[in-house]
Amino acid sequence: MIGLDVVNVAERLYAAADTVTAIPQLAAEVGLDVPTAYQVQAALVQRRLDSGERLVGLKMGLTSRAKMAQVGVDEVIWGRLTDAMRVPDGGLVDPSAYIHPRVEPEVAFLLDRLPEPGEPVGDFAGAVRAVAPAIELIDSRYADFRFSLPDVIADNTSAAAFVVGPWSPVPAGLGNLGVLLEVDGRVVQVGSTAAILGDPRRALDEGIRLAGRHGVRLQSGWVFLAGAATAAVPLRPGAHVRAVVEKLGTASLRARS
């Protein structure tokens, strides 16, 4: 894409998050295609790394129908996670630090030995050290949480914060575990890990493949979020949020009042 200033577009997204101010969608305005949107994402995350953050993992987005339908984009996407996004399990988040935060229940993997990009994960037990229930807090930097495919990719797939529950060894079946999202003790979303590309293990294959296309290699010790099993719900001040995944347990966070 000739003439597009990737760093300048990334700076607009960085400033939107930094000042907690939504911006209009920009893909149509600046003529952003998918490969260029990933370049913007890389520049946006680099801006965070330049200010001292560390890359700690990768996240998948729109790996379930429920999520695709909610945002009207039907392609699997991926984004980057930094240490500053991590909230301890049971920790407090400040909703006023985000534009329009939403929470969604996820499954997290702790990566171990990864195959080369392009190779499928033949030996899942060797590639993944542990698995955990997780909550992702997403916060689109675009007005009204509305975006096109290149918009959301450029915006680091709405990544804002995440909580990982207790790690456990990978259980025998991961492909159809019940998933609940609770707010203040009330179940607000119900799903299954089967909603995540049929089996969340497939999300790892996709992550390796898609990130590999952009020269990003997953690393041992990284956290990998496989994508939400249900639609996301708005995070209200004072809310207590729990994601419960059958066999894996619970991850939780509280929103400051």
- The piece of 1-9, 56-64, 184-192, 214-222 that touches ligand OOG (CB under 6 A) is 56-64
Q: Which is nearer to ligand OOG, 80 or 119 (CB)?
A: 80
Q: How far is the CB of 145 from ligand OOG (least distance, A)?
A: 7
> What span, in angstroms and rounded, lies between the C-alpha atoms of 230 and 209?
24
> Among residues 16, 71, 93, 132, which is the contact residue for ligand OOG, using CB under 6 A?
71
List residues bridging with 103 in a β-sheet. 137, 233
- The piece of 23-31, 41-49, 63-71, 126-134 that touches ligand OOG (CB under 6 A) is 63-71
Q: How far is the CB of 5 from ligand OOG (least distance, A)?
A: 24
Q: Which of ligand OOG, Mg ion, none has residue 152 at its interface (CB below 5 to 8 Å by kind)?
A: ligand OOG
> Among residues 136, 151, 182, 205, which is the contact residue for ligand OOG, using CB under 6 A?
136
Q: Which is nearer to Mg ion, 6 or 244 (CB)?
A: 244
Q: Which of Mg ion, ligand OOG, none has residue 157 at its interface (CB below 5 to 8 Å by kind)?
A: ligand OOG
Q: Which of 192, 189, 183, 228 is nearest to 77 (CA)?
A: 228
Position closest to Mg ion via CB: 136
> Which residues of this protein are in contact with Mg ion, per CB under 5 A?
136, 228
DSSP the chain: -TT--HHHHHHHHHHHHHTT--B---HHHHT--HHHHHHHHHHHHHHHHHTT--EEEEEEES-SHHHHHHHT--S-EEEEEEGGGEE-TTEEE-GGGSSS-EEEEEEEEEE-SPPPTTS--S-HHHHEEEEEEEEEEE--SBGGG---HHHHHHTGGGEEEEEE---BPPPS--TT-EEEEEETTEEEEEEEGGGTTTSHHHHHHHHHHHHHHTT----TT-EEE---SS--EE--TT-EEEEEETTTEEEEEEE--
Q: Residue 228 interacts with ligand OOG (CB under 6 A)?
A: yes
- The piece of 20-28, 107-115, 136-144, 246-254 that touches ligand OOG (CB under 6 A) is 136-144
> Among residues 36, 148, 158, 189, which is the contact residue for ligand OOG, using CB under 6 A?
158
Q: How far is the CB of 228 from ligand OOG (least distance, A)?
A: 4
Binding site for ligand OOG (CB under 6 A): 61-63, 67, 71, 104, 136, 138, 140, 152, 157-158, 227-228
